Every structure is written in structure tokens, then in C-alpha cells.
């Protein structure tokens, strides 16, 4: 499966995404609902041998709900819509 790698400028505009099934298979605790994402930087992914955007992922609108940091390939369904605070 070929993945289009987004630029850092594109990545900055996204606010939410979902973890893909492969990421959830490797870490079963990952949520199936959209998560809030914040672009951090671009790093070299040695496994895939390419530069990828890295995102901090949060369970909700609260910064205390950090799930972790993930390469772009672990996420899908990127959206520019924000998650509302609960």
C-alpha cells in the first residue's frame, strides 16, 4: 500500500485523525474514535526509510490526555475539525 506523505505545512493544518487498524493491532489500547493531533516535527522513519510527520495524539481536547507521539503512517482520516471539550 502506497502512502502519500504530507508536508510539514499540510500537517500543521490537521486537528484530528484516527489510528489505523495496523497501529491498533500493535497497541490494542489505542482508541477507535478520532483523536486530537498536534504536529510536532518531521523525522526520518528508519523502518520505512523515509521522512514522515510526527504527531502528538490526545484522547480529548485536554492536554493532560496525551496518548503518545506517532508517525503519520499510524494515523488515517485526517481532519481539520477540532474535537470539542467534554
pLDDT tens digit at each of 86 positions of the chain: 456 779 999 999 999 999 999 999 999 999 999 999 999 999 999 988 999 999 999 998 888 899 999 999 999 999 998 876 54
Residue whose C-alpha is closest to residue 16's, from 82, 86, 85, 84: 82
Cell of residue 3, nine digits: 502512502
Please give the model's pTM, rounded to 2 decimal places: 0.88
Residue ranges of alpha helices (H) inside 2-83 are 8-12, 21-26
Note the pLDDT of residue 3.
Answer: 62
Q: Please, where are the H alpha helices in the chain?
A: 8-12, 21-26
C-alpha angle 65/54/43, rounded to 5°? 145
Q: Which of 70, 77, 57, 62 is nearest to 26 (CA)?
A: 70
Amino acid at each position: 500500500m502506497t502512502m502519500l506523505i504530507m508536508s510539514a505545512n499540510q500537517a500543521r493544518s490537521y486537528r484530528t485523525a484516527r489510528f489505523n487498524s495496523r497501529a491498533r493491532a500493535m497497541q490494542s489500547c489505542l482508541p477507535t474514535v478520532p483523536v486530537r493531533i498536534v504536529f510536532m516535527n518531521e523525522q526520518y522513519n528508519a523502518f520505512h526509510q523515509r521522512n514522515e510527520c510526527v504527531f502528538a495524539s490526545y484522547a480529548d481536547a485536554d492536554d493532560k490526555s496525551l496518548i503518545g507521539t506517532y508517525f503519520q503512517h499510524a494515523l488515517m482520516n485526517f481532519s481539520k475539525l477540532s474535537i470539542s471539550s467534554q
